[in-house]
Each structure stands twice: as structure tokens, then as C-alpha cells.
Structure 1
Amino acid sequence: MKAETMTVNQLTTDQSAEAPAVTDERADLLRTLAEHRHFLRFTTRDLTDEQASLRTTKSALCLGGLIKHVASMERMWVRFILEGPSAMPDFTEMTEEDFARRADEFRMLPGETLAGVLDAYAEVARRTEEVVAGLPDLNASWPLPKAPWFEGQPEWSARRALLHILAETAQHAGHADIVREALDGAKTMG
């Protein structure tokens, strides 16, 4: 069976840069991630900045905040792929200030715009695609940082980190769909 070949540019909305060809498993991972990114971004179609910052359910989630969080999480895991656990905080030593900054990822702050949040997310996506295209081996692994939720998982490969990014993006796209439907009845599908 002939391997399917696509460029990273075919997976992103920014068609301006030349990108290396991505094949096989990498193409599948990036294509699936691009689909879930699309669903997440699509939940913000035709919204104002104010609407993107509204909490529409009992949770603290808003659409702009969800996108900020997913972008931050993806940026962190891509750094982990490249640098290992030093790219991530020691979650066991986080301060109240660290947790407050993390909570700010889930909301739009004064002066932030939906366009700015989406542009930042597109840049993170572009960087992820560039890194994945250039990885010599998806099996390359690093020890995980200290965190109670990583107990029993001593290390993750680049592949496992990418799968985690994909799962987080898909999960939060579902959250965003619920937030949007509660806002004005719009749905991603159906």
C-alpha cells in the first residue's frame, strides 16, 4: 500500500510557509489533531469577544478560555517532546500564584480578544506541526515530571505526548460544543 503523503500546510489554515512532507503515522496524527482543532475553533464562529468570554454552564469554562487552555497545554507538551521534563513545572511544588495563572487559562482576561486567542492557537498548531515533521523518532522518550496524576508512568514517548495533545483537544472541543449550545443553541454538528 502506498504511503499517503501530505504537507503540514495542508493541515493548517496558514498556507504561507513551506513545510516538509509528513507521511504515514505522523500524517494520521496531525490530520486527526487538525480535525479536532477545527471542531474546537468552529464553536467560536460568528461570536463577539464578549460572547466568547461568557460562562454558559455551571462550570467556569468559556469558549475563549477553552481555546487558551488547549493552546497552552499543547505548547507545554510540544516543549516536553523537545526538552523533556524541564519544559514543565514541578506540579508537586506549584504555588497559589501558579494555580491562579493556570486558572486564567480558562477565561478571557481584560484586553484579550477572540481573534487574538485564535491567532495564538494557530501559531501553536503551526509549531506543533513543524516539530512533528522534524522529529527523527516518535519513540523518543523522556521521564515525566513529578505530578500525582503521573504515578506509575515513568516516561512518555513523543508519540504518547502527541496522543495526549489529541485527546485533550478532542475532550475540550466537546466541552466547547456544550458551552456554545448553551450560549445560543448553535452546534458543531447536527
Structure 2
Amino acid sequence: MTTNTRERADLLESLARHRYFLTHTVRGLTDEQARRRSSPPSELTPGGLIKHVSATEAQWADFVVRGPEAMAMTPESYQAHLDAFVLGEGETLADVLDGYAAVAARTDELVRTVDLDAEQPLPEAPWFEPGAAWSARRVFLHVIAETAQHAGHADFLREAIDGQKTMG
């Protein structure tokens, strides 16, 4: 196995592990429970978190392929960003999980096939260093970190609903 193949396998395994932890937190929840906010009051909901992680991963995968225009912020894309935190009345947890699985499959294919050293310039934003560029590898590591962080949030929210914990 070449180093590049091992590296890709490690990236895929990390993505799969943290996606599992994230989606495991909502297993067995009803759509109503997936919309429930925690106490103390928070806008975050389990279903909204899954939807947000899915949208964010899809955007970063687009960035790997298309560059900074995939991250362009317009009034419509900003509203979509805000909407991605909410499991709407017409949406089901099953639909959101199916959408996330499709996003994950696309990202996994990119991990397997793109040049991990290929860089794209980051868009101008206060949270990015001016003039910085990220390699595909750096983007995938960022997606892993984001997924892991939000899996922790989801675990906390799930425990507040019915006491279930992902790890423990």
C-alpha cells in the first residue's frame, strides 16, 4: 500500500468514524424529538445539527472542486446557511440522514480521487487569513474536525432528550 493510499484510507476512516458518532446520536429519535431544543435554551437541535453538518461538508467538497466561488456568500446562500440549522416542519430526520449519506458518498469519492496537494485560494472572510490557500487534504481534515465537534454537540443534545449517550 503506498503512502498516498494509506493516507486516503486514514482520511476515509476518520470521516466515517466521526460521521457515525454524529448520526448515532439521532438513532431512534422521532422527528419531533429531532426538532427539540435542549435545556438550557439553545437554538441547536439534533436534526438541525445533522442538516448543518451535511450542508457544510457539501460546501467544502464543492470548494475542493470549484474553488472559492463555492463559498461565495449571497443573500440567498446566507439564508440557506441559516436554514441549514433547522429541521423544518416539512422535513424528516430520515430525509436529512439520506441527504447526508449522499453528501458523504460524494466527499469520500473526492478523498479517493483528487490530488490531495491541490490548493484552492480561500475566499476573503474575517475568519480566513488574507491570501491563504488550503489543499484538498487540509479541507478534508477540516471536515473531520467539524464533524467531530458537532458530534459532541449532538451527543449533548441527545442526552438532554432521553439520557442516551453515544460513548458512555
Residue aligning to 1:11: none
Residue aligning to 2:69: 86
Give, in angstroms, the shift of residue 100 of structure 1.
3.5
User: For 1:27 and 1:50, how far apart are their aligned partners in 2?
Assistant: 37
Query: Is 1:119 matched up with 2:119?
Result: no
Equivalent residue of 1:23, what SS? helix
Displaced runs of 4 or more, over 4 A: none
The one of 104, 110, 117 equivalent to 1:139 is 117
* Kept after mapping to 1: 8 A contact 2:11/2:111: no
| Sequence identity (%) | 57
Q: Which residues of 2 match residues 24-35 of structure 1 at below 5 A?
A: 24-35=6-17
User: For 2:124 and 2:164, how far apart are their aligned partners in 1?
Assistant: 40
> How many residues are treated as equivalent by the alignment?
167
Q: Which has the higher helix share?
A: 2
Query: Is 1:159 matched up with 2:137?
Result: yes
Counterpart AA for 1:110:
E
Per the normalisation by structure 1, the TM-score is 0.83
User: For 1:105 and 1:143, how far apart are their aligned partners in 2?
Assistant: 25
Per the normalisation by structure 2, the TM-score is 0.93
Per-residue displacement from partner, 1:96-121 (whole Å, max 9, x unpaired)? x6443322111101110010000000
Give, in angstroms, the shift of residue 124 of structure 1.
0.3
Alpha-carbon spacing, 1:161–1:146, altered in 2? closer, same or farther (3 Å): same
Residue aligning to 2:37: 55
* Kept after mapping to 1: 8 A contact 2:124/2:130: no
Give, in angstroms, the shift of residue 60 of structure 1.
0.6
